Structure 1
């Protein structure tokens, strides 16, 4: 039927239809072949993979059925820690753990103990922080009160200082600096006058000592002269008496 129809069509159209038909066959044949070959290829891959796995690991041909793993029981550590701090417990946890492929195999009991210790430490830190916050608040309140008291005392001190800067002398109010300046000027003047008096007194005392020394020398010379004069007078008196005696003796002899 198709051949009869093709003979009736023009030659050009017949060529076009033949080309279209050939193209459809080319598209249909690979699809059919793929559907038929794909299951066989999958089965072949399974067989090859199985043979390769058996070749690599012979035990897979007769796989060994392992019994189910028993749950592990962890016994608490009997070793007492010397350092009960978090750092010490962490180092102990690492030292008591095995290493596998770069990873630490940690005992859950030790990990739970470390977690509990860390939790207790955090709770203590929170309690201490709350206490410290309360203490800081009370200290702040105390500091505010002290600041108020200090401000009051500072005002009183300023008032007292202002009153202390004024000095009443002879019914006249003097500034403290002026008063001290006047007082020290008077003291320096009195000291200078006293120095002059002492210098003059020293000079007078030295002069008096010199005069006393001269008087003593003159008195000593006078006493020496007086003693010499007395001795000479006595000598002359003796000589005069001798002469008088001689004259009397001559008179008695009748000369």
Structure 2
């Protein structure tokens, strides 16, 4: 029985020691000089005393700790405000950059559209027309020129044929004329000989 009581008492002492050591470590980790605001409030709560009056529990906080906590809170608020101001400035700078990039993008898009339109268009007689219209006009002119060339060749061939026919007719006419002139000359010679013969006969008769 005595041994059991001694063991129980020893266990209680060890448990109490561990709890006290853990609380001491926690108290040492809590401070008003470092750590987040929540841990500083925990430090104030740990270091404050308490009492009851009229059934209400009150916490007694050291004034110096309260001022220190107040300064820390204000410092945190100022740091937060500075960080917020820095973030706002960064956001504003990014918005300016985005606006500039959007403007450049619009200019690039406009230039690209102009280049595409210029690429897809041709100048014809000082007038800007699309490539399709330009091709239609060009092929219309080419086909028209081929048609005119065909008409010219056709008329030239017909004219050449008529010229050859006229030359042939003229050659035939010249042959006929020469033949007629030759026959006329022969007749004239025959008549002249007959006339001369008659004259000679008349002379002999006299």
Question: Which category of TM-score, normalised to the shorter sequence, fits these structures?
Answer: 0.3 to 0.5
TM-score (norm 1): 0.35
Larger Rg: 1
TM-score (norm 2): 0.42
More helix by share: 2
